[in-house]
Structure 1
Amino acid sequence: MPIDAGSLHYAVGPVIAFIALAIIAVFLRWAFASSTPKRATRSSAEDGLLTRVATLTRKDSALALRAVLSDAGIRSTVRFPAPHRADVLVFPEDAARARELAGTFQS
């Protein structure tokens, strides 16, 4: 049976394929979605494996404290969660000693 040149029968196959792909995409998004809602920001108490021992307002001060901790044999890192804020983080087993050194630290 010849197809009329003005007919849209040639578009039926691709339209059905597109609809099927859209249904599969929606199903997969639903099936593999996380069961817990995502939070937009990380809470300040959530430091992962590390413990916050000091929060300073200057980057230079935080890096200087990190050098003091390093001289004492304490591994540390600095996180900058916001402008004019630097958190110094250490592993939990070194937290008590690091807090003592941070308390005597002059920025």
Structure 2
Amino acid sequence: MPIGAGSSLHYLVGPAIAFAVLGLLALFMRWAFGTGSAPTASPPADDGLLTRIATLSQREAALALRAVLSDAGIRSTIRFPAAHRADVLVFPEDAERARTLAASFAPPE
């Protein structure tokens, strides 16, 4: 039973259903895989394999302490978890010696 082409809009039903299904699918995917909130920057909960031996307020002071540790044969790194904060990290086997050197360290002014 053919439908007259002049008075019917049956050719729009298929694309309308397809767009509706795609829209519902997009909403479902956003709900299923969305994060729920904006990510926030937070300092790591732990230092991994490294041990924090000092926290300094200036980058230059942290670099100077790292140079002192390097001269003593201690491998170290610096982490900047926040503005105006620098953590000096070493391996656990060097932590005691590094803390001794850090205690006698006078940061440059």
TM-score, length basis structure 1: 0.71
* C-alpha distance after superposition, 1:9-33 (max 9, x if no partner): 131122123324543x267538xx8
Q: Is the 8 A contact 2:43 2:81 kept in 1?
A: no
Q: Where does residue 20 of structure 2 map in the other structure? A: 15
Distance 1:20 1:61 in 2: 55
Residue 77 of structure 1 is matched in structure 2 by 77
Structure-1 residue corresponding to 2:52: 52
Cα displacement (A) at 1:54: 0.7
The C-alpha deviation readout for 1:10-61, integer Å capped at 9, x for no partner, is: 31122123324543x267538xx8xxxx986236x62222111011122111
Aligned letter for 1:89? L
- Return the letter of the residue paired with 1:13: A
- CA separation of 1:91 and 1:18: change in aligned 2, threshold 3 A: same
Query: Displacement, 1:62?
Result: 0.7
TM-score (norm 2): 0.70
- Greater C-alpha radius of gyration: 2
Q: CA RMSD in A?
A: 2.9
Where do 5+ consecutive residues of structure 2 fail to align? Answer: none
| Matched positions, count | 99
